[in-house]
Each structure stands twice: as structure tokens, then as C-alpha cells.
Structure 1
């Protein structure tokens, strides 16, 4: 009982120090909380403390430190009695750990952590395409974790695996009507095709992505992404020698840039007028 109370008290001190921006004091309190919690086998508090230390290390660009603490936190959460909090904490740590490993240039290690995270979250990466009679509920968690797997597989050079994951996410996004998700998938498939110099496939993917931007809830907010997508498409058309399509893509990109520039100038002018008033 004493260890549990002491660990919780030190954890609260660390969280309070974080709110005031005192990272050094927060780190000291989290370290003390972690030691006390592990000695007293208060695994849930130990997981919270180690996870907070991982966040501090990540924010300080200490990737090895972040990796160590996230691994430690995931282990503590696994030892804790199963609850929404312990499972949620472990899932978050595994996701953060995968991101850190990607930043460290270890994409295949990241892929394995994302697999463990998906399993802990109760996600089936095959679900987006595992439809029955053409319809099956696909959760955002299915798509999020499958997207993580696709990103890590692509970074690891496992192109076929990444392609399979992207296609599953794409199918799920189409079922949910998720336009932004579809654009992300088509861009991922385009990048894979370019890596393999499959230019026709790259053109097909970028064309589909560029055609989806107008269907976004606020397409104007994504004008720069849309312009870049069109420029990438024009470059691929140039590689293929499809000059007419190349010119159309570049002309549309220029027209969108002009419209976007005019809108920004008008907004700046209006803001200046309001200030003067």
C-alpha cells in the first residue's frame, strides 16, 4: 500500500512539473515513481511513469532513451491487471515505439512493433479487404494500424507487403467514404510504383489521388498538396512521353496556384483593413 501511494504521489508531482514546463523536475519525479512502483509491483503506475519518461526523451530528440522507456512501459502495462487503461497505455507505447524506430532508421523493427500494437488493440490488418457479401464494418483503428504497417514496410523496402497493406487500407477507406484516407493510399501506391519504375502504375495512382481533392470537405485548405500531386503527375507523364497529359496536369497546377495566391492576398488585405479599423 505504501509503495502504491508513494509511486502515485511522485507521478502526480511529475505531471504537475510538466504543466509548469519544468522538464528536469518532471523527469526526476517520474524516475522516482518508476523505481518505487516496480519495487512495489504497482505495474500500472510504473507503466505511466515509464511512458512519461519516453515522451520526455522523444521530445528532447533522445531516441535511444525514448525507445528504452517505451519498451519498459509496454512491459509494465502488460504485467498490470487487464483493463481499458492498461491495454490503452500499452497500445500507445507500442505505437510511439514504432514511430521512434522509424526515426532511428530501423523500419523492420518498427513493423514488428506495429504488428504487436495492432494485436494489442484488437485490430486485424486483413479486415479492410476481408469483406463478407461486399460489406463489413471497418473501424478507424483498422485503417490507422494497417497504414502504420504499410509505412514501415515501405521504409524497409518490402514493397509487395507495403502494396498489400495500402490496398487493404484503400479498400477500407472506400467502404467508409474516407476521401483523405484514399488520397493517402494512392500517394503511397504511387511512391511504391516509382521506386519500382512502374511509371504507368504511378501515373494511375497519382491521377486517382489528384481527382479526389475536390471531394475533400475543405479542398481549399489542401490546395498546396493538390498542386504538388499534379506536378508529380506531370513529371511521371513526362517520363512516359505523354506530353498532352503532362501539359494538362501542369496547367491545372499553375491555375490552382494562381487562385490560391489570389485568395491569400485577399485574406491578407482584409485582415489589414480590419486592423486599421
Structure 2
């Protein structure tokens, strides 16, 4: 019937009906695999392009940051010594230093707000950065400080926030700071000389934030934490700050 129909259509000048071309399963599978391969290639090319753009953006940002800042010095951490191996500490004046065992402890002073502490091994002549715990005092210079028993008492000083009249105590066994509450008329000066007499921290001289010099004497009982003014006789020294005194 199909052949007769095609003959009749041909006689009338009409095109014969085309037979559908059947694909075998192998050809269909090959075409499907080819489409999947092309799709994967497009996805891989897009992924590689994204990675390239991200790397270029990250490198551009890194170069820009290097231009805008000076990279900090490299330090090395020694786990066995629990401290940072450094060269000499930053230059400073108006700082505090005490012998703690066979080491010299240095902290505070005019270091641009650097409140870190450093220890010098007096045997090896090697500096390490010392981690101090607890409630550390603010970064100040020209504070009054003494050692009493195994504690360092640190009072006052002048820093970025002005004059400080707080008292702190550092336990040199645990290297832990503690802020202490005191009673009595505390001095409002910095750059005072400080020494221990008996159980008291005796302060003399100093300078106020209004740049007034002082020649008064104060004492803080380190057991009761009570301040008192000390009445003195004789020819008092002139008003001064960064004054030296020894007991």
C-alpha cells in the first residue's frame, strides 16, 4: 500500500512521503555521551576562568596592601622558653626596670604606647618578650615603682590618656598584674622618685599635668594601702621632677 501511495503521489507531481530514519541504540548513546562531554568542557572552562579572575584580584589586592603599609618585623616564638626571641627592645625613656632573679625586667616608658615587657637574661645577654597576665596598667611613662617582697608596685605615670593615679601590683612569681584600691590623699604627680622604707613606698617631687613642680613627700603603706603626706623639716630640695633618691 505504501509503495502504491508513493507511486500515485509521484504521478500527480507530489513528493513522496519520506521514510523516518531510525537510529540504532549505539548511535543514540554515542550522541548523548558527546553532548555530555561538550557540556562538561564548557563547565570546566568557566570554572578555570573564574579561578583565574579570583587569583588575579587577590594578587592585585596583595600588591596594593604592600604599597600602603610597611610589613612588621618577623619574630620567632620559642615554645620551651615561653617567650618571643627579639633583638633589643624598642628605645624608650621614663621606663621601669627591676632585677627578677638573674634577669632584668623592663616595661613601660615612652615607647609610643608600647606596654609590652621584656626580660634580659644577665647570663646569656639575650632579650625575650615577657607575657604579663592579669589587669595590666595602661602604657605610661615616668611612673613611680618599687619592689617590696616579691611584688612590684607601680603607681601613676603619664600616658596617652593623661595622668594616671591608679596603683598596680605585679607578682614576680606568676607575672600577674592586679589593680589595687587605696585610701588617703594620693599624690597627683608623675615623674616622682620612689623608694621603699620599711613597709612604705616613699615618693618625692614630681610634676603635675599642669606642669607644676612638686617638692612634697608622700608615703604609701604597702600593707594597709593607705596614703599619707609626710611632714619634713630642714632645707627642702627645690621643686623638681625625675628626681633621684635612695634609701
TM-score tier (shorter): under 0.3
Given the two structures, how large is their TM-score scaled by the length of structure 2? 0.25
Given the two structures, how large is their TM-score scaled by the length of structure 1? 0.23
Structure number, greater radius of gyration? 2
Q: Where is the strand percentage greater, Structure 1 or Structure 2?
A: 2
Q: Where is the helix percentage greater, Structure 1 or Structure 2?
A: 1
